Homo-oligomer: A and B are copies of this chain.
Amino acid sequence: MQLIKGSEVAAKVLAECQQDIAALAALGHKPGLAVVLVGDDPASRAYVRSKDKKCRDLGLHSVKLELPAETTQEELLAHIAALNADPAVHGILVQSPPPKHIDESAVVLAIDPRKDVDGFHPVNVAKLALEDSSGFVPCTPAGCQRLLLDAGVETSGAKVVVLGRSMIVGKPMALLLMAKGKGGDATVTVAHSRTKNLAEVTREADIIIAAIGRPNFVRAEHVKEGVVIIDVGINRVEDPGSEKGYKIVGDVAFDEVAPKCRAITPVPGGVGPMTIAMLMANTIKACKQLVGA
């Protein structure tokens, strides 16, 4: 069984980013990412800090905009307009979820698609469906695809089951894997809460992408021998014995499933580190496209 170490692949992606950053620097450009946080949700704040830190570590220009929970929709849109117009900013990300009085889809639409490094703007959603590589692919599915490529897993002709049909992971993942070319050409099935006889469906899979957000949901009986599993789940479960009182587990019951796998990602240390690495890669791509480098 091969453990697909996301942290190691993420380090590779970041090393590639550093080369690109050096090349851009030689041309007088410095990629910039703006991360916007509205409110003071502790988990969101931690995400924003880690993105900001990763930018600084890489030598990217980082703008961290922490706005109070009372920020109005109008004020937030004005901030986004300013970031759209800021030539030092090539990527813009508004940390999700915003407070309830904010219309998240209006916020996504307000971001210049050329700076939409999250890949959630309709222009980028469409580019993914249309196999137009100038768009931005959402970071998590892009990271999953990169993990498969890096682990030498052939997707062409492979039967892939994507568990979950969200627009953040499931659907873009399916579109990526069914697209023509390297890392694609798979026979993709999207399964979800309405799927009947799920274990029958998943047991057919050569590759499973688990993105349903239910701790330890995928069990040994769901998979065949020799399957490759990418576990997108990041679920907090109680762990009374630990210092924090909780631990993070994936959507896959790792201990019982891993022995049947040809390869599997751990949680933590699998998809998680890839998401932020792909965000950096998307920011550099945005910079290159905007400056014409």
Q: A: which residues have CB within 8 A of B?
A: 122-123, 125-127, 129-130, 156-159, 165, 167, 171, 174-175, 178, 185-192, 194-196, 201, 204
User: Residue A192 contacts which of B126, B174, B187 (CB distance < 8 angstroms)?
Assistant: B187
20 extra A-B contacts, CB within 8 A, seeds A157-B195, A159-B196 = A122-B122, A122-B126, A123-B126, A125-B125, A125-B126, A129-B129, A129-B175, A130-B167, A158-B196, A171-B175, A174-B190, A178-B190, A185-B194, A187-B189, A187-B190, A187-B191, A187-B196, A188-B189, A188-B190, A189-B189
User: Residue A178 contacts which of B122, B192, B196 (CB distance < 8 angstroms)?
Assistant: B192
Of all A-B residue pairs in the complex, the 4 with the closest CB atoms, nearest first, are: A122-B126, A189-B189, A125-B126, A185-B194
- Chain B residues with Cβ below 8 Å from A123 are 122, 126
Please determine whether A157 and B127 come into contact, CB atoms closer than 8 angstroms: no
- Chain B residues with Cβ below 8 Å from A190 are 174, 178, 187-188
- Chain B residues with Cβ below 8 Å from A175 are 129, 171
- Chain B residues with Cβ below 8 Å from A122 are 122-123, 126-127, 130
- Chain B residues with Cβ below 8 Å from A159 are 196, 201
Q: Which among A171, A186, A187 has the highest number of chain B CB atoms within 10 Å?
A: A187
- Chain B residues with Cβ below 8 Å from A127 are 122
Nearest-neighbour CB distance to chain B for A106, whole angstroms, equals 13
In the complex the two chains form, what is the Cα distance from A157 to B123 in whole Å? 30
- Chain B residues with Cβ below 8 Å from A156 are 194
- Chain B residues with Cβ below 8 Å from A186 are 194
- Chain B residues with Cβ below 8 Å from A188 are 189-190
Nearest-neighbour CB distance to chain B for A180, whole angstroms, equals 8
In the complex the two chains form, what is the Cα distance from A195 to B155 in whole Å? 10
Nearest-neighbour CB distance to chain B for A181, whole angstroms, equals 10
Which residue of chain B has its CB nearest to the CB of A135?
B122
- Chain B residues with Cβ below 8 Å from A204 are 204
In the complex the two chains form, what is the Cα distance from A158 to B123 in whole Å? 31
Nearest-neighbour CB distance to chain B for A207, whole angstroms, equals 13
User: Residue A194 contacts which of B130, B187, B189 (CB distance < 8 angstroms)?
Assistant: B187
User: Residue A187 contacts which of B126, B129, B195 (CB distance < 8 angstroms)?
Assistant: B195
Please determine whether A129 and B167 come into contact, CB atoms closer than 8 angstroms: yes
- Chain B residues with Cβ below 8 Å from A201 are 159, 187
In the complex the two chains form, what is the Cα distance from A122 to B121 in whole Å? 11
